[in-house]
């Protein structure tokens, strides 16, 4: 671990994180900075959309509510890891950032030929959950380290990793391009960045039902669901972060629930509930009941279940290396499209 976590990162962590042990309850919690104003340390991003401290607490809660095996999370993690099988290259040193840490570790199964794995999350409870689950994983030949840290302030030495994986975590960062740039800097030349984030079509049914209910009951709307990246933005994010050979593809998953309440419980167990800074803390009971009723009336199937859409954007990018394919210089072509057309049309140009 000392060879990967830089000196600046270690001093940052020592300054940022202070671990408190409560003897009476046997639990441990993480606080930030000093006693006064310390919560502002993690909020230094210029653009503040999400409350990172609230998101950390939500992930603490999710560590206790998380299902043993979540079919949605497992499917996304497995699809993300499948991309390692398409690479002939091996990745001896890897970092797994936030999101579905436990699912990534459990489903890794030797893919990528990883020898050293760092698992990092802002939540101490989530990191502890992954550490406790380490004894049950199949491939025990991976040297695994555990780190409490923030994706927005990556405490990793530059050019020290072969692979960075983030499964359903980066969409909660205030500065997504900045977090991706830090990931690229942490990679060695020809290192791989793999990420899965929720896209803008996620929970579209809940967004509609919540908007209609608020208009009916409150005469206006307030943000109840977090804004998410659109598919068209993903390629630009990779390019802006400086990755070569960017690749983006999208999957949509439809999960069926018995009620809107069951959906909300699942979101809490995933750590995916609202963390907007500009949010209305209180939700009126009549608005919540109206949202559930409208959801059911608009989207329920004949069997009484309701659907929820999860759009997942998969992103792939490589750190620059001389061996990678490069576009030819403009004007360097040796054959024209007219010649190609003649070749395939038998010489006729009509």
Between residues 22 and 122, the one the model is more confident about: 122
Q: What distance in Å separates the CA atoms of residue 180 and residue 224, rounded to the nearest whole number?
A: 26
Please give the pLDDT value at position 319.
94
Q: Which residues pair with 163 in a beta bridge?
A: 94, 192
Q: What is the mean pLDDT of residues 58-79?
A: 92
Q: Which H or E run contains 84?
A: helix 71-85
Lowest mean pLDDT among 25-34, 132-141, 252-261, 271-280: 25-34
Of the two residues 117 and 5, the one the predictor is more confident about is: 117
d(CA 189, CA 77): 25
55-69, 111-125, 318-332 — which is least confidently predicted? 318-332
More confident residue, 267 or 137: 267
Mean pLDDT of the chain: 83
Say what the pLDDT of residue 347 is.
Answer: 59
In the predicted model, what is the mean pLDDT of residues 201-213?
Answer: 93
Tell me the mean pLDDT in the region 269-294: 86
Q: Does residue 72 register a pLDDT over 50? A: yes
Res. 287: pLDDT tops 80 = yes
Model pLDDT for residues 257-270, shown as the tens digit of each residue: 999 999 999 999 99
Least confident of 29-38, 209-218, 313-322: 29-38
What integer is the mean pLDDT of 288-306?
Answer: 93
pLDDT digits (tens, 9 = 90+) for 24-37: 333 333 333 333 33
pLDDT at 19: 34
Please tell me the predicted confidence (pLDDT) of residue 228: 87
pLDDT at residue number 348: 56
CA distances from 50 to 42, 196, 227, 238 (A): 11, 19, 10, 21
**Predicted pLDDT of residue 300:** 94
Tell me the mean pLDDT in the region 90-96. 96
Confidence of residue 5 (pLDDT cuts 50, 70, 90): low
Cα–Cα distance, 213 to 292 (Å, whole number): 9
**Biggest CA-to-CA distance, the chain:** 87
66 pLDDT above the threshold of 90: no
**pLDDT level of residue 8 (50, 70, 90 thresholds):** very low
> For residue 204, is pLDDT > 90?
yes
| Percentage of residues in the chain having pLDDT higher than 90 | 61
SS3 224: coil
Contact present, 106 and 167 (Cβ < 8 Å): no
| 177 phi/psi in degrees, rounded to 5 | -60, -40
What pLDDT shows up at residue 14? Answer: 42
Q: How far is CA 163 from its chain centroid?
A: 15
Q: How far is CA 13 from CA 6, 10, 122, in A?
A: 10, 5, 11
Spatial distance between the Cα atoms of 69 and 102, rounded to a whole number of angstroms: 10
Give the pLDDT score at 32. Answer: 33
Lowest average pLDDT, out of 17-26, 89-98, 158-167, 216-225, goes to: 17-26
With a pLDDT cut of 70, the percent of the chain lying above it is 84
Q: For the ranges 27-41, 138-152, 171-185, which has the lowest average pLDDT?
A: 27-41
Average pLDDT value for residue range 332-347: 78
Handedness of CA 127, 133, 134, 135 (dihedral sign): positive
Q: Is 322 exposed, middle or buried (0-12, 13-18, 19+ CB in 10 A)?
A: exposed
Q: What is the pLDDT of residue 2?
A: 46
The number of residues making up the chain comes to: 350
């Amino acid at each position: 671990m000392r060879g990967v976590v830089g000196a600046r990162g270690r001093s940052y962590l020592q300054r940022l994180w202070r671990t408190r042990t409560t003897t009476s309850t046997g639990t441990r919690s993480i606080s930030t900075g000093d006693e006064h104003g310390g919560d502002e340390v993690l909020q230094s991003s210029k653009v503040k959309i999400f409350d990172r401290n609230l998101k950390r607490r939500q992930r603490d809660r999710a560590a206790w509510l998380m299902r043993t095996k979540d079919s949605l999370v497992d499917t996304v993690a497995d699809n993300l890891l499948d991309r390692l099988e398409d690479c002939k290259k091996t990745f001896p040193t890897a970092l797994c950032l936030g999101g579905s840490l436990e699912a990534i570790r459990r489903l890794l199964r030797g893919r990528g030929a990883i020898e050293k794995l760092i698992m990092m999350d802002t939540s101490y409870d989530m990191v502890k959950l992954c550490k406790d689950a380490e004894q049950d994983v199949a491939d025990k030949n991976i040297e695994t380290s555990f780190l409490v840290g923030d994706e927005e302030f990556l405490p990793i030495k530059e050019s020290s990793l072969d692979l960075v994986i983030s499964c359903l975590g980066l969409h909660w960062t205030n500065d997504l391009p900045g977090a991706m740039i830090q990931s690229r800097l942490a990679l060695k030349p020809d290192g791989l960045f793999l990420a899965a984030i929720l896209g803008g079509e996620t929970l579209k049914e809940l967004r509609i039902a919540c908007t209609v209910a608020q208009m009916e009951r409150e005469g206006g709307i307030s943000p109840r669901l977090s804004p998410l990246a659109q598919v068209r933005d993903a390629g630009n994010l990779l390019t802006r972060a400086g990755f070569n050979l960017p690749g983006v593809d999208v999957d949509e998953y439809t999960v069926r629930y018995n009620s809107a309440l069951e959906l909300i419980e699942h979101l809490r167990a995933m750590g995916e509930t609202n963390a907007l800074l500009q949010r209305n803390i209180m939700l009126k009971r009549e608005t919540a009941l109206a949202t559930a009723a409208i959801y059911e009336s608009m989207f329920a199937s004949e069997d009484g279940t309701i659907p929820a859409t999860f759009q997942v954007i998969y992103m792939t990018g490589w750190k620059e290396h001389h061996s990678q394919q490069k576009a030819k210089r403009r004007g360097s072509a040796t054959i024209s499209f007219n010649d190609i057309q003649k070749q395939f049309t038998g010489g006729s140009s009509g």
